[in-house]
Amino acid sequence: MPDTKDPDSVATWNVPLHDKIHKIEFEHGTTTGKRVVKVDGKEILRRDWMFKLVGKEHFKVGDMNCTINVEALGTFAYEYSLDVNGKAFQKFRDDQSRKLTSWETSLSGEEVRIVLDKETMEVWVNGKKIDTAGEFVESGTETHFLIGRHVCKIVATSSGNKKMGVTHTLYVDNVQLRTPGGV
């Protein structure tokens, strides 16, 4: 099967936010001067016939300010990097990994992404913050909430390991979901 990938497609990043992991794609036509930014497959920025092949492209993903940096490495060689809210992509991703825990599951035939913000203890379901009730229990804390008719709770307990810290376990209708994914 022939390769249908756009030859001007030069970089892709997966940016984890509360609502989902957004795929950012960047196209850079070094002969045409074209620059295209796509978020989740949707074109959000296009510049054609740019004579300056290096520079920055600014855009938003949700409430996050993003910048793609295009730098020359030599003759006809370029380096592409992404900043999210003023942080280099890897630093932003590492921070999000420490801050967020997420689970993906199917409830009543619908794909659901549940995200716990460990700093605020807010719970987000498919990108929407939901009401929760917290409770201290003998082994740690429980955060209770509903997704439709499904009764859910996130149990936070000490791992017993100082480096690992607190572990979070999600239960839906008293059934433990798999270990959370990253962010």
Dump pLDDT digits (tens) for 79-97: 999 999 999 999 999 999 8
Look at the chain and count its residues: 183
Domain assignments of the chain as residue spans, ordered by start: 9-85, 98-176
Structure token digits, residue 161: 């390991």
Second CATH level (architecture) for the domain 98-176: Beta Barrel (2.40)
Contacts of 151-156 with CB under 8 Å at 24 or more apart are 152/114, 154/116, 154/123
* Alpha-carbon separation of residue 9 from 29, 33, 76, 155 (angstroms): 8, 13, 15, 43
98-176 and 9-85 share a CATH fold: yes
Confidence of residue 164 (pLDDT cuts 50, 70, 90): confident
Distance CA 134, CA 164 (A): 22
Residue 182 has pLDDT above 70, yes or no: no
Question: Considering Cα of 98, then 104, then 107, then 111, what sign does the dihedral take?
Answer: positive
Nearest one of 93, 134, 128 to 112, comparing CA atoms: 128
CATH of domain 9-85: 2.40.128.180
Dump pLDDT digits (tens) for 96-138: 988 999 999 999 899 999 999 999 999 999 989 999 999 999 8
Dump pLDDT digits (tens) for 1-33: 444 466 678 999 999 988 889 999 999 988 888
